[in-house]
Structure 1
């Protein structure tokens, strides 16, 4: 044993320096990237521990991991980089990993494409294969051999060229052998195999071959030029035919124009002129139908205008536009196409990029038809508007404009409206003075005609800048200025001018602003200065005059606020004065109800005025509660302005001096009797209970009580007290409160009858 131990210590069992060196050698592992032989994975060995454990868990050799066998098929392979190499030196993804990715993609029904680098590599290999198939690596491709045509081929290519037979029987000097050619085979072959010495015959043959090629090229050039000249000749012949047709059409038009010149215009009879117009219109229509397709090429518009110009000029001399609005319109309408009249619906609006609207500017030059109308038609119409037309009667001029608008140029109509029609309308509007009557004829004075009766008819014909309610120029701007002037000076005592409400759809908010700024302050001042509340002799004319303005022109809310500011302060003062000077409450009640009837219902029922009526009723109730002994001294006066919210909603209370101070000796005064005390005494006399319910009515906010004959305090009637009236709830759900009297009816309801 000792020998064995010693042997171990002296040999492999030595723990000296040799053992340390052997240990370092064992720890060194070969680099697979250097020798190219990676170590086999132990999982690939079917007898390894990992393989046996996987077989026990149901894994089958050749299938992937998982119950479905779609998992990884091979162990993860590690791609090692050479020692000292950084990232990117080698491809990090191994071939095995790429195959696994493609296999997983196939299970998902996808096709995994190669990376960009692999695709470039694959294309590079395909290109190298194609290049290697054409020529060997490093060799230059052979130059293509030049092919020459034979004499027979030259003769066949040059149509019409005849090659003499003597040129076809020439010596072929392109080969090492000299032979006589009877045919044209091999005429134009390469000279690379020509014999070094060239005889005179061979030189002649070569020159003849060059001359033959030059003749063939020249022949082809001349043939192409011949074809071009033939084509040019045919085109010129077609143009000559077209020119002849056009000349024939012009001659026909000249002949038709000469027929028009033969018409006589000497007669001044209306029937004769009508016949001439019919004849001219019929002949121009024939020209229009005959040359409908040549309207752009032939001067048909100038011909038509020249034909009708003398007749049109003669007709305009005696024409009365306002009496004959449709004069000559049917004839011009018939000739609208040949005269170049565009329909009014023709729009010049275009669309640029991103749907930006753009209006094409009008042409700076006029047509012959437009010039004729501007020089012959416009002067008599302008004179009729200035001298004969009554702006308060728009129908004659409207008939004229409506009749001529389809055949009238747009610039003429615009000039006529802006410079003449609107000017006359503005002049009539400035003369409008509804509060001033004419001394000669007070009933039919023109300055009292409402503007809407003659301006409304022109609104569809006016341009937008004339009818804009917010524009600072135009007809409606003049109307707004005139309304401000009229409303600032019109007497309030007179009825309002008729037609003011008709402008509401046109002026919209502008009219409301004008009425509020220029009329409402004057109505308020008139009501404040002229209305006197006098129960003995009441004069309602100031109120009636103000309501005649406010009801049609203002909203009920505006009217209600106006009455609260100017009427109710005086009304409350008169009521307080009446209550404190020996009142008759029956007369006060009638007076109270009469005043409510004088206010229109939509204003009377407004919450603002309802608060004033409620305040007046509370004043009367407080005066009843105070009694005749204390009402004169303890009834609080009304506030200086009832328009304040607190004054309109706060309940009236007895003055502070009516409550005796605590530091003074109590005064032997009789207790104040209220209406609740009266009701309680009546209930006690009828053997009924009067019980507070400790809740309020949701609609009125008054505290609720129960009047019942039951000792348990149930049943009976639910009531509340307002003023000196008992309000009882109706029977059944959803019934409101109604006033009842202290009589047998209330007793029956308390007893459940």
Structure 2
């Protein structure tokens, strides 16, 4: 209830003390009241807001105690004469509180108006008068809001027909005294333990209206409330005797589930249950693990007792909290045990690592000893001249074997290949000074191949930048690789690569450039085969092939003269194919074809040297380059020979031009050789056969014709061309021509038919 409402009900007026707050809370101005009056009277007047209105607010009026000076408020119209209320169709407090004048002026019967309670106002008022035999005590200060004796609220109610001591409403059926409140005890819910929310005023008003409930109803409500309140302890409040007399439905046994903490607690128990506990109280025997699970099916005195339910509830809560604390301690203990196990495991791991470090330190000390011994042997060999023998295995084989087998991991980790190269380099340098590359190209290759596992290079890097040897046994992180700009990797030479590049390669380069003859391929071929990767670093091998061997071979091919050179070029080029492969020599092959195409411009098919030069290249060159060379340089010459020099003469046949052409049958494709015979040989042959079979029949010897035909078939069969489609079709035409002529039929010249 708001403060302003409380003041209204108390009948006091606080406008003098809290005028501004009151006006702010109601937010009513003089203009609102005038507009309200104009709305009831049908008039619309405007009044100017005066100074007095500003000072006194909406409560400024003509009182007897005010000054006699005229004020604008005195000219305000009276509500009693200006307001003409009209009866409402809906029964409301306003319609029941009309003034007597308005009720007299509106003789409309009130019995027809529906009320709020579903009946008429007259019926309700009569019922109120009949039930209100005992009227409540009247509060004389009801509706006194102002401090001047009679306030604005009282005047408003009196103008609408209300009298002091009577109830509100048109028939006085409303309340007589202000509304009272009843404070509920602190932290109590609604109707808790049957608490009556009604005030004395509410009960008196209900009695006056006849709405007082009977004692039986109140007792029933109290019983239901108590049952709801004690529903959770229904069994405890019901006496055992009463349960026996009144049979009820047996209560279902509640399923109890184990929590995670209980399971942990049970698993953490160190001593298992020694004895079995058999519960025979139920319909069936069951085996229990502890006495705490034993529960009697019949209610105990504590369960049936109705005394101290709060205490037993609190004790149960304390027991549950204690159990929760115990579960928490059990979990903490379990976690502590797990933590102790983890710490013990970490201690064991640290101890193992410490032992491993100690063992590794011992191995490092042993490596230092081996290194000092290798250094001593190297200094002794340099001092005595024993290194001139160049036998690395004899001097360092025992120590190198230890590094290769027993200390391979440390060898990779510490990069001890530099130590191996440091004692090997003087011996390699001394041996290269006296090394004849062409006479003994395989010198020292067996030693390098034997100890290659101790000489890693960048070619052994895997995708993960791990160094691996040819057998896959050596593995280690790339020690000397670094990243350059962008994503490309810049590699530095390993000690082994540096030794081979600065000591071994210059000797080989000098021998190839100054001493080696390209037509004597065997020494350099043996050198490449003995030092082929992975024995030799790949970049050194590629450098020898691309910068030394191929340029010298290209120069020798360019100096080659097929006309005057008695040695055919394939004799000193083909030996390089197994070592260098055909793709490396493709540029040299192109140069050879160009030189041959130039020379074949003046070549005659009677010269068989061209055939001997080209025939070894049939399996070396691809089919396309070879066919282009044949079509460009060989086939035109053969066509010209067959067209100008070959003549079909049954009496004296010269086969040389045809033999010259058929000798190329292995280099020329079957399609090209068939086109050559179809264009140049068979037209001449069919023309001679037509002339022979069209002579005077008396002059024709058909046996000679048949023998001549068979002889030509044997000639082509001897060259393996009898299965050629063109050859077979042409001989079939000749046979048909002979059959028609021998039978007397008319025949035509096949050459004329083909021309048409």
TM bracket, shorter-chain basis: 0.3 to 0.5
Which one has the largest radius of gyration?
2
By relative contact order (CA 8 Å, sep 6+), the higher-ranking structure is 2
Give the TM-score taking structure 1 as reference length. 0.44
